[in-house]
Amino acid sequence: MSTEVARTVRPGGRHRVGRTAGSGIAVMVAVQALIWTGAATVLGLWWVDTASVVGPAGWFTGAGRITGLLAGYACAVLVILMARVPLLDRTVGTDRLARWHAAAGRYTIGLTLAHAVLIVEGYALTGRTDPVTEGVRVVLHYPDMLKATAGLLLLLATAVVSARAARRRLGHETWYYLHLLTYAAVFLAFGHQITNGADFDRPAVRIAWYVLYVGAAALIVWFRMLTPLRLSRRHGLRVAGVRREAPDVVSVLVTGERMDELTVRPGQFFRWRFLSPGLWWTASPYSVSAVPDGRSLRITVKALGGHSAALASLRPGTRVWAEGPYGALTADRSAGRPALLLAAGVGITPLRVLFETLPEDPVLIHWARRPEDLVLRHEIDTVAARRGARAYYSVSHPAGYRLALDAETLRGLVPDVARRVCYLCGPPDWTSAAQAALRAAGVPAHRIHHESFAL
């Protein structure tokens, strides 16, 4: 069952690669520098507005002000990273943005909790009372503090559902909508920053803070609301047909008007909203599973929850709203190097398209539980035979046809693995194991790319 597709035809020409990996690194460095410069500027506000710090009360209150300013700034950064700005999505990449977003979330939670504890302790020392009594007084009697407390509780709830253990137990749709509580938390917490923050007494500082938050909100509204609405109205997307690929996997074909104007690249995904009963309320991320031909788009979906399972019953003509395209798991990441594509389960969908379109000499390895779970294998075999490329398959059952996911196996199948650029798509635990195997095989971290639907 673990087989190699024989090399029969040499690839018939180079595919043009757009932006190089170097441009993505340049943008990544520039964005990181901008974020840290903003944090330094926020610290400068405290420094300029603080003449001196005296005694334990002053140190606690000062630390509370610093962590509060940084927490407010981190909230805005968190929202901006959720906005799906196309420039960042194409250059920095969805995988890095997801990691940055997760890190910003941790910083935000940590700084917010530290701010609450430190400022209450500082006020308690100043007023010669205990922290519990002072905390109750601050929440009940300071302007906008009830809303800020509600925002903190929502942030904590978001942190809980974002933890890996919780995400395993939640469907993607449930997790996604609970995660949107971040917007409500930031909105609720904003007012108390302006009304209670000593650093915002100066009009110029207050205006700059409003610009930061209004700008973040504008990015969300433009790129995550208005742009998808415009796309859907312009192209009139509708379901053209549904085809079963495996017992629990279907492909959905979507057509519309002026489809050739959609700048979809192999490896990218959309958030799809199907306007039918029971499905219209959520938008789920699915990768394009066939090379865009200017007439239609195809997605291939495994039934992992109620929403994805319901796609099998979609009727032709059902209207579709799409948000995207997103993702930087594209040929740009290869920078002209040969590629190694590693997929698990239905994670094969974006890699199947890359296998057909990447230049040089791509190699694909697909892990699945059973032979029938090797989705789109017939298409992959056809592409491999036409291009003279190699495809390997691994299944856990029946026994004896499983490929180990380790450095030794990768070197045995792909002796030049260390010089290749690597694309991964699969469940989180499998992705972590694949990254570790590739690193052990000598692949640098900057040449390992995976998709994330976390934003």
- Tell me the pLDDT tens digit for each residue of 305-347: 777 888 988 999 999 999 888 888 888 888 788 999 999 989 9
80 and 127 belong to one structural domain? yes
- Tell me the pLDDT tens digit for each residue of 192-218: 998 888 788 888 889 999 999 999 999
Mean per-residue pLDDT for 13-26? 51
375 and 406 belong to one structural domain? yes
409 inside domain: yes
Pairwise pLDDT comparison (14 vs 364), residue with the higher score: 364
455 inside domain: no
> Count of domains in the chain?
3
pLDDT of residue 5: 35
Over the Cα atoms of the chain, what is R_g?
A: 25
Please say if the pLDDT value at position 10 is more than 70: no
Domain boundary among 296, 326, 356: 326
347 and 308 belong to one structural domain? no
311 and 220 belong to one structural domain? no
| Type of residue found at 259 | M
Please say if the pLDDT value at position 360 is more than 50: yes
Domain boundary among 192, 214, 231: 231
CATH number for 279: 2.40.30.10
User: What token pair was written down for 204?
Assistant: 């110029």
- Tell me the pLDDT tens digit for each residue of 81-98: 888 888 887 777 777 787
Please say if the pLDDT value at position 455 is more than 60: no
8 inside domain: no
246 inside domain: yes
Percent of the chain with pLDDT over 90: 49
371 inside domain: yes
CATH number for 385: 3.40.50.80
Q: Determine contact, residues 306/174, Cβ cutoff 8 Å.
A: no
- Tell me the pLDDT tens digit for each residue of 428-454: 889 999 999 999 999 998 899 887 655
Mean per-residue pLDDT for 235-256? 92
Domain boundary among 326, 349, 383: 326
- Tell me the pLDDT tens digit for each residue of 42-85: 999 888 888 778 789 989 999 999 999 999 999 999 889 888 88
Could you tell me which residues come within 8 angstroms of residue 87 by beta carbon, excluding any fewer than 6 positions away? 27
15 inside domain: no
343 and 392 belong to one structural domain? yes
pLDDT of residue 173: 64
Q: Give the pTM.
A: 0.75
61 and 201 belong to one structural domain? yes
73 and 150 belong to one structural domain? yes
319 and 395 belong to one structural domain? no
318 and 357 belong to one structural domain? no
Range of the domain at 205: 21-231
42 and 162 belong to one structural domain? yes
44 and 165 belong to one structural domain? yes
Pairwise pLDDT comparison (296 vs 19), residue with the higher score: 296
3 inside domain: no
186 and 87 belong to one structural domain? yes
Q: For the ranges 90-99, 202-211, 220-229, 266-275, which has the lowest average pLDDT?
A: 90-99
- Tell me the pLDDT tens digit for each residue of 159-184: 887 776 666 666 666 667 777 788 88
pLDDT of residue 125: 93
